[in-house]
Structure formats: C-alpha cells, structure tokens
C-alpha cells in the first residue's frame, strides 16, 4: 500500500524522513512527492536521512524515482515521486 | 567499480541519462553527483530517464541517494550522490 508524502520547498527534511521511516516500519510503501527543484532537493535529503534512520534498525532501503503527472488548480504539472522500499522487496509489491 | 558522473544545473538530463545507462551496460556502478538544488534536480531527472532506457533493455535499476563531502577550491561542501545499480545487485558489490 502506497502512502503519498507531499514535500514542499520549505518542508523540514528531518520530519519528512521520520514520516518515510514510519511508513516503512508499518510495512507500507512511502512515496515522497515534490514539485520543483527546491522541493525535489528537500525530498531527496529526506530519503537520505530516512535511509540512515532505517539502517540503524537494520533495514536497508532503496529509492525508485519517477515522474508523476499531477494537476494543480486545473494545470498539468510534472512532479517527481521518490518511492522508498526495503531492498529485498519484490517488484510491484 | 564506481564511475562518477558530475551533474551541473545546466547539464542535459538526456545526455546524463545516456551516460548512466552506458555505465550500467558496462557492468559498472554509475554515481551521479550534484551540488545544489538545481543540479540535484537535473541528476534525479537523468536517473528517471536512465531507468526508462534500461527498462527497455529489460534491466530494472534502483537508486541509492547519499550525501558526499566534497571540496571545491578549499571549501567543504555537501553534494548528493545518486548511485544507480541493477535491482538484484548484492550489497556493496
């Protein structure tokens, strides 16, 4: 099950990292979604920090980045979605 | 074997993606390194595009983002390194 975590340019990467790690610990699939270079940068920092948090629990996570078409106030925009999952997860699970 | 690919804010993501895919096809480990939000955004776009290029060859890649301390003109800076590898690679190979 996917859980979308929206990341803005002023999001605190530490808080987002905690949210990502929490979703992984629940056995779900966190997807950090960001629009624009600053937000994407914050989302990636959060994924790196979540990697460290989870490594301390013995969980090794990997990241799958992809583009996501979203609509904001009727305008189509291309966001970046960073899906985080344990390394040994099977495809599409 | 790691191959570092430096990504700047004005790098063409398509060219960087081609470089990443080429390194994977050689059986090596590409590491896209970027400093600053705009460059990080370009690097991530390149990884997404490389994912698509390689998927067309039947190769599924994942990404491991991490911070890298680098030195530029005597100043320490924190870059982001995006390591790309086939999904089924063992740790640390």
pLDDT tens-digit profile of A46-80?
999 999 999 999 999 999 999 999 999 999 999 99
The structure's pTM equals 0.93
Mutation target vs B (from A17, A39, A59, A63; most B CBs, 10 A cutoff): A63
DSSP category for residue A89: P
Q: Which of B48, B60, B80 sits opposite A67 (nearest CB)?
A: B48
* Contact between chains at A64 and B44 (C-beta distance less than 8 A): no
User: Rounded to the nearest 5°, which phi and psi values hold at A62?
Assistant: -125, 170
* Contact between chains at A62 and B66 (C-beta distance less than 8 A): no
Q: Tally C-beta pairs within 8 A across A and B.
A: 55
Where are the extended beta strands (E) located within A29-74? 29-34, 61-72
Q: What's the complex ipTM?
A: 0.91
């Amino acid at each position: 099950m996917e859980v979308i975590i929206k990341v803005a340019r002023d999001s605190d990467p530490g808080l987002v990292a905690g949210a990502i790690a929490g979703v992984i610990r629940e056995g779900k699939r966190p997807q950090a979604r960001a629009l624009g270079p600053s937000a994407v940068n914050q989302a990636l920092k959060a994924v790196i920090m979540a990697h460290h948090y989870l490594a301390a629990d013995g969980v090794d996570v990997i990241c799958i980045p992809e583009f996501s078409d979203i609509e904001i106030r009727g305008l189509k925009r291309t966001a970046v979605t960073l899906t985080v999952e344990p390394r040994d997860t099977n495809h599409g699970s």
